[in-house]
Structure 1
Amino acid sequence: MDRLAARLARLIFGPEAAGWLAPVMARALPSGLVVLAASLAAAALGLAMPMLTRQVIDAGIMARDMGALIFWAGLSFALGLGAVGFGIVNGMLHLRASARMLADLRGRLFGAALARDPACPDLPLGEAMARLDGDCAEIQGFAFDTGLVAVGALFRLAGGLGLMIALDWRMAILPLLAAPFELWFLSRARPRTRALAEEVRNQRGALSTQMAETLSARATLRGLGALDQRAASFGAAQQAQIAGLTRQRLWSETVGAVSQTITAILRGIILLVGGWQVVRGEWQIGTLVAFLAYAGMMSGPLRNLLGLYHAQARARVAADRLGAVIASARPDEGAEPPPGPLSIALRDARAEGAAHHPVTATILPGQRVLLDGPSGIGKSRLMAVLTRDAPLAEGSARLAGAEVAHLRPLRLAARVIHLAQRPAILRGTLAENLRLAAPDAGDAALWQVLEAADLAGWARAGAGLATPIGETGANLSGGLRQRIAIARALQRPAEVLIFDEAFSEIDDAACQRILAAIEARHADATRIFIAHSGPAREGRFDQRITLTSSAPIFLISRGEMPYQREKAREKAV
């Protein structure tokens, strides 16, 4: 199955997509073969129907034989019911198998999107949703149905051609003569089909992005009085997509019209020639009816086979877009972080996109450090290097002597926690948000971290651990969101805690209580604070590292008075 799936993926979508798509297709192949068997059975019944119609007309009606008429009509009715039954069974099998493949494909892409390498260019949320939804459906539909359509079409084509030859081999040549011209036309039309498909896909992604951004920022837009402006922009984007869809549909109808015109011409020739054969007495009327039916049956499969050529162009556009998501995934590979306490060593280090002078510093396990500097200089980017969420532009960063860039990301994230200023809060309950960090945590443990984050009183005043949280925490203040994030982080046994403006929206009194609880509970952990104001900047620090556009400044305050010159430079920064 794996080898067959790899060949099919390479043939249909190209070698670039085969690597990530072949496993999905391999898992779908067994159920796909069952659907194919049911489809061929239904097709076989369909091929028998024109012959039965011929017998009803020629052996029954034209021969004025009531017994033959009843027999052939009854058999035709029975096979018709069988075809209906096979169609229902086939439809249900197809639905279940294709839905499972779509779920598998989306799961694969969703995992890749979650593991997206931070070094890759940002993918807007709306664009990601468009790829996970529309592009996945396009790939699944084509990948699953291609084999069914191709094998079924070949089966009906071969069966119909054989029965047409049995009726009159000379007339059976006519449908084959039209195929080369139709193939030539479709090959010429294919590049435009691909270009229009790419245009519509990009427009759909841009529209989804604008929708997601506008809805998430509706409060800000309302305050700015910009709702009408965004609504107008959204309307313009919709009109652009409608125009693109119109061009795509018009082109599709044009391509289809050429095929239908060829079929109409072929049908007219068969009617004329076949009718002449009936007039001459060489054919019976039932033979003409059966021949016309088989000609129609042949044109359908032939059009399906040729149409797959155009559908492949659209599917490859979707495969390229999904392939970009797959390629951006960062595998959870690398060495395990060293055991024991984690010391941090920065040597001429500067994160990519940061504006500060390269910094050299050593932070020992358990130290309390303030990382300072003007906004936008790259403090957060430098700390993100320690969790591999930002790459280094120059220098090196080591944890307990091991190069951070070589460590396994998920293992690293379990030992180094970087709390951002704007935490991710999900829709659900308070307990569900807290258990993101510790799925097996009991209620008692949750209440302990709520106490540490000065949230227990607020939770008791609400619904306790069942307090509902809106999407992105929209029903909470910024300070509550930050305190929930702090409570969540304190459940993890991390050795390095980075508080990156994580107290910026918490009032001073609550901030002091939380800091005191952190010092009491996590005195052995390395605590690194980034804060422009408030209690998070106060107290004793083992080191104060100030990032500047020139050489960095280090101040050691463990019972020592820094030089006046250093204090003046710090204030200047």
Structure 2
Amino acid sequence: MDRLAARLARMIFGAEAAGWLAPVMARALPLGMVVLLASLLAAALGLAMPMLTRQVIDAGIMARDMQALIFWAGLSFALGLGAVGFGIANSMLHLRASAHMLAHLRGRMFSAALARDPARAELPLGEAMARLDGDCAEIQSFAFDTGLVAVGALFRLAGGLGLMIALDWRMAMLPLLAAPFELWFLSRARPRTRTLAEMVRNQRGALSTQMAETLAARATLRGLNALDQREKSFGMAQQEQIAALTRQRLWSETVGAVSQTITALLRGTILLAGGWQVVRGNWQIGTLVAFLAYAGMMSGPLRNLLGLYHAQARARVAADRLGAVISSARPDTGAAPPPGPLTITLRDARAEGAAHYPVTAEILPGQRVLLDGPSGIGKSRLMATLTRDAPLAEGYALLSGATVSHLRPGALCARITHLAQRPAILRGTLAQNLRLAVPDADDQALWRALADADLTSWTQERLGLATPIAETGADLSGGLRQRIAIARALLRPADILIFDEAFSEIDDAACRRILAAIEARHNKTTRIFIAHSGPAREGEFDQRITLVSSAPIFLISRGETPYQRENAREKAV
């Protein structure tokens, strides 16, 4: 099954997409085979109907045989009724199988999007949603339906051609004469189909991105009185998408019109030639009716087969877009960090995109450190290198002698908590947000973390741990969001805690209480603070590391060394 799925994926979507699509298709194949068998049985019933109609006309009506008429009409009705019921069952089977495949594919893409390498350019939220929704649906529809359509079309094509040959082999050649011309036309039209599909997909992603970021920033936009401006921009983007969809649909209808014109010419030719045979007495009228029905049946499958050639172009566009999500996922591979307390060693280290001079420093387990420097110089990115969320442009970062770039990202995040200035708060309850850090934490542990973050009174005044929180914490102040994030970070054990402007929106009194709790209960943990102002800069630090934009100049004198301690800041790097 896996080998068959790999071959199908390679044939349909190309070698690059086959690697990640083959497992999805392999999982869908067993149920897909059942749907295929049901489709073939439905097609066989459909092929039988024109022959039954022929018998009704020729053996019943034209022969004036009432008994034969009743028999063939009753059989035709019974088979038609059975085809209706069988079609409903087949449709439900198809829905179940295709829905499971879509869920598996979307789950695969969702996992890849979550594992996206933080060091790479971030995929806009709206664009990610468009790919997870529209592109996955395009891939699922084509991948699942291609086999069904192709096999079913070939079955009906072969069956119809065989029955037409049984009626008159010379007339049966007419539908085959049209196929080469239609295939030539579709091959010439395919590049434009792909170009228009790319344009529509990209514009859909851009529109989703604009919608997502506008809704997320609506409070800021309202404050700037810029809502009308964004609505106007959104309306223009919608008009551009409508224009692109119109061009795509017009082109699709044009391509379809060529196929329909060829079918109409073919039916007209069969009607004239078959009518001439009836007039000459070589055919009965029922034979002409059956032949026309089979000609229509053949043109449909033939058009489906040729149409798959164009549909594949659109599906490959979606596969390329989803392939970019897959390729951006960071594999969670590497060695585990060394056991025991972690020592941070930086050797001439500078993060990619940072503006500071390479820094050399060593932070011992349990130390309290202030990482200082002007805004934008690269303090956050330097700390992000410890969890491999940012690459080093130069130098080395080590944890207890192990090179960070060789360690597994997931294991690093389990040992190092990097608390950002703007934390992620999700819709749900307070307990659900806290348990993101430790899913099996009991209520007592949650209350202890809330106490450390100075949130006990606030929580008790509401609904306790069941206090509801809106999407992104929109119903909370910035300080409350930061305090909930601090409680969540303190809930889970970590060797290193990095407070990256994590206190910037908390009032000074509450901030000092939280810092005191951290020092009382987490003083064995390495604490690294990045703060431009406020109580987070107060107190005793084992080290103050200041990032500077140029190389420090060391001038040895009898009295002191410049950059040693100046206004309670260590300037040595």
Which TM-score applies when normalising by structure 1?
0.97
Contact 1:553–1:570 (CA under 8 A) maintained in structure 2: no
Tell me, what secondary structure is at the counterpart of 1:341?
A: coil
Alpha-carbon distance between aligned partners in 1 of 2:561 and 2:357, rounded to the nearest angstrom: 22
* Aligned residue runs from structure 1 range 382-401, under 5 A: 382-401=382-401
Map of 1:423-442 to 2, 5 A cutoff? Answer: 423-442=423-442
Q: Is the 8 A contact 1:429 1:465 kept in 2?
A: yes
In structure 2, the residue matched to 1:180 is 180
TM alignment of 1:418-457, pairs within 5 A: 418-457=418-457
Cα offset, 1:570, TM superposition? 5.4
Structure 1 distance, partners of 2:571, 2:389, is 31
RMSD of equivalent CA atoms? 1.5
**Take 2:563 and 2:110, find their aligned partners in 1: how far apart are those partners?**
54
Task: Tell me the residue number matched to 1:538.
Answer: 538
SS in 1 for 2:347: strand
Deviation of residue 291 (structure 1)? 0.1
**Map 1:359-398 → 2, pairs under 5 A:** 359-398=359-398
Percent of aligned pairs with the same amino acid:
84
Distance 1:348 1:92, change over 3 A: same
Contact residue 553 and residue 566 of structure 1 kept, 8 A: no
Is residue 2:302 matched to residue 1:302?
yes
SS in structure 2 opposite 1:283? coil
Residue 544 of structure 2 contacts residue 569 of structure 2 at CA under 8 Å; is this kept in 1? no
Q: Where do residues 82-481 of structure 1 align in structure 2 (5 Å cutoff)?
A: 82-481=82-481
Distance 1:156 1:120 in 2: 50
Does the CA contact (< 8 Å) of 1:511 and 1:535 recur in 2?
yes
User: 1 CA distance for matches of 2:343 and 2:571?
Assistant: 30
Q: Which residue of 1 aligns with 2:45?
A: 45
Asked if the contact 2:56–2:68 (Cα under 8 Å) also holds between the matched residues in 1, the reply is yes
Quick one: which amino acid aligns to residue 504 of structure 2?
A: S
Distance 2:109 2:430 in 1: 29
Contact 1:370 1:541 in 2 (8 A): yes
CA distance in 1, matches of 2:101, 2:334: 31
**Paired residue type of 2:318:** A
Q: What SS class does the counterpart of residue 297 from structure 1 fall into?
A: helix
Structure 1 residues 562 and 535, CA gap change in structure 2 (3 angstroms): farther
Cα distance, 1:551 vs. partner? Answer: 2.9
| Alignment check: 8 A CA contact 1:359 1:552 kept | no
Cα deviation digits, residues 248-269 of structure 1 (max 9, x gap): 0000000000000000000000
Gaps of 5+ in 1: 555-560
Contact 1:364 1:526 in 2 (8 A): yes
Q: Deviations over 1:349-402 (max 9, x none)?
A: 000010000000000000000000000000000000011100000000000100
Query: How far is the alpha carbon of 1:119 from its aligned partner?
Result: 1.7
Q: Aligned equivalents of 1:552 and 1:492: distance in 2?
A: 38
Matching of residues 69-88 of structure 1 within 5 Å: 69-88=69-88
1:220 partner SS: helix
Contact 2:563–2:571 at 8 Å: present in 1 too? no
Q: Structure 1: how far apart are the matches of 2:489 and 2:239?
A: 45
| Residue 492 of structure 1, CA deviation | 1.1
Matching residue's letter, 2:148? L
Correspondence list, 1:447-526, <5 A? 447-526=447-526
1:567 maps to 566
Question: How does 1:544-555 map onto structure 2 within 5 Å?
Answer: 544-551=544-551
Structure 1 residues 493, 569: CA separation in 2 closer, same or farther (over 3 Å shift)? closer
Contact 1:367-1:526 within 8 A present in 2 as well: yes
1:211–1:234 Cα contact (<8 Å) kept: yes
Q: Residues 477-530 of structure 1, C-alpha deviation per residue, up to 9 Å, x if partnerless?
A: 000000000000111110100000000000000000000111111111100000
Unaligned stretches of 5+ residues in structure 2: 555-559
Which stretch shows the higher mean deviation, 563-572 or 215-224?
563-572
Q: Which amino acid aligns with 1:141?
A: S
Question: In 2, Cα distance between the equivalents of 1:91 and 1:54?
Answer: 29
Deviation at 1:157, TM superposition (A): 0.0
Query: Is 2:65 the counterpart of 1:65?
Result: yes
CA distance in 2, matches of 1:105, 1:20: 10
| Residues 426, 472 of structure 2: 8 Å contact kept | yes
SS of the aligned residue for 1:345 comes to strand
Could you list the per-position Cα deviations for residues 122-181 of structure 1 after superposition, in whole angstroms to 9, with x for gaps in the alignment?
A: 110000000000000000000000000000000000000000000000000000000000
Query: How far did 1:568 drift?
Result: 6.3
Query: Runs in 1 of length 4+ with deviation above 6 angstroms?
Result: 561-565
Distance (whole Å) between structure 1 residues aligned to residue 567 and residue 24 of structure 2: 63
Q: In the aligned structure 2, how far is the partner of 1:439 from the partner of 1:143?
A: 37
What is the letter of the counterpart of residue 329 of structure 1? A
- The whole-number CA distance in structure 1 between the counterparts of 2:6 and 2:114 is 25
Q: Give distance in 2, aligned partners of 1:245 and 1:99.
A: 26
Matched position secondary structure for 2:491: coil
Residue 567 of structure 1 aligns with an amino acid whose one-letter code is E
Q: Answer whether contact 1:190 1:313 (CA < 8 A) is retained.
A: yes
Matches of 2:116 and 2:365 in 1, distance apart?
30
**SS of residue in 2 equivalent to 1:170:** helix
Report the 3-state secondary structure (helix = DSSP H, G, I; strand = E; otherwise coil) of the residue aligned with 2:170: coil
Shift in CA distance, 553/311, structure 1 to aligned 2, threshold 3 Å: farther
Alignment coverage as a number of residue pairs:
567
Amino acid at match of 1:320: D
- Residue aligned with 2:189, SS: helix
What is the identity, as a one-letter code, of the residue corresponding to 1:62?
Answer: M
Contact 1:431 1:446 (8 Å CA) reproduced: yes
The separation in 1 between residues aligned to 2:52 and 2:43, in whole angstroms, is 15
Q: Distance in 1 between matches of 2:257 and 2:47?
A: 26
Alpha-carbon distance, 1:80 to partner: 0.4
For the residues of structure 1 that align with 2:570 and 2:221, how far apart are their CA atoms? 37
Counterparts of 1:551 and 1:425, CA distance in 2: 40
The answer on whether the counterparts of 2:544 and 2:570 sit within 8 Å (CA) in structure 1 is: no
In 2, distance between residues paired with 1:275 and 1:456? Answer: 91
Give 1:557's aligned residue: none
Alpha-carbon distance, 1:563 to partner: 6.4
Q: CA deviation at 1:118?
A: 1.1
CA contact (8 A) 1:545 1:553 kept: no
Distance (Å, rounded) in 2 between the aligned partners of 1:67 and 1:48: 20
Q: CA deviation at 1:206?
A: 0.1
CA contact (8 A) 2:157 2:297 kept: yes
Which residue identity lines up with residue 238 of structure 2 in the other structure?
Answer: Q
Q: Retained in 2: the 8 A contact 1:112–1:329?
A: yes
**Matched residue of 2:498: which SS?**
strand
Q: Which amino acid is 2:37 matched to?
A: A
- Shift in Å at residue 17 of structure 1? 0.1
Q: Give the aligned residue type for 1:39.
A: S
How far apart in 1 are the matches of 2:514 and 2:570? 27
The question of 1:27 aligning with 2:27 is answered: yes
Amino acid across the alignment from 2:566: K
- 2:271 and 2:331 map into 1 onto residues whose CA distance is 63
Counterpart-to-counterpart distance in 2, 1:96 and 1:111:
23
Answer yes or no: is the 8 Å Cα contact 1:449–1:490 preserved in 2.
yes
Give the letter for the 2:267 counterpart. Answer: R
